[in-house]
Amino acid sequence: MRVLLLGGTTEAAAMARALAGAGVEALYSYAGRTSTPRPQPRPLRIGGFGGAEGLAACLREDGFTHVIDATHPFAATISRNAVAACAAAGVPLLAVERPAWTPAPGDDWTPVPDLAAAAAALPEAPANVFLAIGRQNLDVFKGLPHRWLLRFVDPEPAPLPRATRIVDRGPFTQAGDMALMRDHGIRIVVAKNAGGEGARAKLDAARALRLPVVMVQRPAIPARETVASVAQAMAWLHQAPPAERGV
């Protein structure tokens, strides 16, 4: 058995620990977005594969028997590529996907399909907005009159005018995020429905402060076998038929 683990998330780190604990041969793959990727208990590779075709070639050439896609729910391109590449190479694929967040009593969420719709959902009058969506694809917010609070993993420059950028890496706490939002006079939060515990703090903080949240829904990914936990993924590994070479 040789597993390709597509990572960059808390779930992928937990998956890598489980694979290491079980003595399963695996390669952890990072896209290379952060300059300080966390070390993992399995060997690493960093960087893209060159689309679905490159990934399929990698699966064939490096003798992978299984692929586990534990990427972020908003990393849709690599997940779509994994579906296509695994089909082409005849390698079984499993996604480990955290459940989406659902609103609780007291939440004031406006669901939107994508970031452009999130930008359109913001008020016309200038406001202090916590744009808690990472550092990619912020262009759609250019030209809006707001003051932005941005939180990045790396000390990258803020790509928006009137922005305050802070550098921090989760998991975050409700108390910490409440203090942050108070300090910056935040009136609206924009979030992606990533799910999971570490990034939920901003939503709990927004509810406690009675702030509205513009919630970007997850992108569509083709149907694939999916589990919600590392334990289920380990069980799948020992049940899934190995790669059908030559397909």
**Residue numbers of the site for ligand NAP (CB under 6 A)?**
6-9, 29-31, 33, 48-51, 54-55, 71-72, 74-78, 81, 134, 136, 192
- Among left, alpha and beta (phi > 0; psi -120 to 50; other), residue 121 is alpha
Measured at the CA of 137, the angle between CA 145 and CA 50, to 5 degrees, comes to: 165
DSSP secondary structure letters along 33-70: -SSSPPP-SS-EEES--SHHHHHHHHHHHTT--EEEE-
**Which residue type sits at 1?**
M
The residue among 24 and 55 lying less far from ligand NAP, judged by its C-beta, is 55
CB of residue 105 to ligand NAP, shortest distance in Å: 27
| Nearest residue to the partner ligand NAP, using Cβ | 48
CB of residue 138 to ligand NAP, shortest distance in Å: 12
The residue among 49 and 141 lying less far from ligand NAP, judged by its C-beta, is 49
**Which residue type sits at 127?**
A
The residue among 13 and 24 lying less far from ligand NAP, judged by its C-beta, is 13
Placement of tokens 């890496």 in the chain: 169
CB of residue 194 to ligand NAP, shortest distance in Å: 7
CB of residue 12 to ligand NAP, shortest distance in Å: 7
> What is the maximum alpha-carbon separation in the chain?
60
For residues 214 and 22, give the distance between their C-alpha atoms in angstroms, rounded to a whole number. 41
The residue among 52 and 187 lying less far from ligand NAP, judged by its C-beta, is 52
CB of residue 196 to ligand NAP, shortest distance in Å: 10
Pairing of strands 93-96, 66-69: parallel
The residue among 73 and 187 lying less far from ligand NAP, judged by its C-beta, is 73
The residue among 34 and 127 lying less far from ligand NAP, judged by its C-beta, is 34
| Token pair listed for 230 | 């590392």
Placement of tokens 């996604």 in the chain: 95
Instruction: Round to the nearest angstrom and report the end-to-end CA distance of the chain.
Output: 18
